[in-house]
Amino acid sequence: MKIKSLLLTLLTPLLAIANEEVKTIDQPAEKPATIKVLLERCSEGVLLEARGPYVVYNPENGKRESSGRFDKRFYLHPHEEGIKWGENFRKIYQLQIVPTSPETTFLIDGTQYRGAIEVYNIENRLSIINEVDVESYLKATLSEKVPANLPPNVLDAVAIAARTDAYYHALLNYDAFWHVTKEETGYQGTSLALQNIALDRAIDNTKYLVLTHEEQPFPTAWTEHCGGKTASYASIFRKNTATPEGVTVTIANKKRKESYWSLTVETKELAKLVKTNRITGMDLFVDHTSGKVYATRLRDGTHEEDVDFMTLQKCLGKERLKSNDFTVSIKGNIALFEGYGEGHGVGLCLFSASKIAERGDLAPAILAEFFPHTTLEKMRSYPKAIVSSKKSSFVSPKQKESTKKKARLLHK
């Protein structure tokens, strides 16, 4: 991995210990990077409680509409003339409720959130969004996704990869009303923070550190056991964006045979996936560089239906269809899957990373094994412009700002 140097006293303990060098983007003192999570859509109303001081703005014009120094708890709901939350905000169809103290939190139907809350009245239904700093977002989402027994250096690497992915999605949808949804990310507010102390420590150790490829953050992932090779994110998830290529992983390859698994499925179970009576054949769409399956085609003799790997695995179960490194054969009414590894085979291989950590390698060196041609950068806030000669991922925030139209109104 290409590591550019700019040594600063503000570098995190991780990098000081690792004696690694990091490129730091020169940024003015702006608010830390945030991500907008869609919490509710088409809601008739929620119980919203502010715990601590706050200010209410109209995001359409930036006007301050209300404020409070103490707790406030009322049912928030839309009506034909605006939004009501204790007081009535007439002729106002979008509100932004901003904390004025770092201790302020919001409870929505009993779930705790930090950051700002945005509310939109769209045809008498509410859309509710939580804009939260990325560091808090990571602590709230990773606990349920990352094994608690990983070595500290691997947790550091996972934290950097996850932050990179969050930055990518926030920049990709920079001027959208929301960047991700709570369903797709598993975000359940900040009440789940501190569930994994070691993981929270890793997030703090690597604060603001991200990987960049072609000078910008990119979508990332991790897999439990790659079976010897990883695939690029773009090849498996079929995204038209620049991502690091997959790599051959010697450690996992030596243990490939030990990761063998098989699955026997009745074809009628597969038929249910595509709502047909039978399955006569199954074709695989394979990334030829890594050998990973990214989609399948199910045939019933007359019709055919394509199913991507993630959907197939979700339907059959992760404990059964363990990876996308498999072959399949159908005899009669039985489909036999045989494969290696565990997970979708993209990005950081946790099995191999743990072995690398055992020899003393720290997060930067671990990441270099799985994300070639990338740079480790300290990026506290989103830069106004991400300049790339290739520009194959997304338009920079600065370009969007220069062509920005008048703020859109969600209510007509």
Please report, rounded to a whole number, the percentage of residues in the chain having pLDDT higher than 70.
85
pLDDT tens digit sequence for 388-411: 445 555 555 544 554 444 433 333
pLDDT tens digit sequence for 223-232: 999 999 999 9
As a whole number of angstroms, the distance between CA 208 and CA 298 comes to 44
As a whole number of angstroms, the distance between CA 38 and CA 189 comes to 11
Mean pLDDT (whole number) for 221-246: 96
Mean pLDDT (whole number) for 149-175: 95
pLDDT of residue 401: 52
250 to 267, 369, 374: CA distances (angstroms):
36, 10, 20
301 to 278, 280, 328: CA distances (angstroms):
9, 6, 18
pLDDT tens digit sequence for 2-56: 443 333 333 444 443 344 456 655 555 678 999 999 999 999 999 999 999 999 9
pLDDT tens digit sequence for 283-337: 999 999 999 999 999 999 889 999 999 999 999 999 999 999 999 999 999 999 9
Q: Give the max Cα distance, the chain.
A: 71
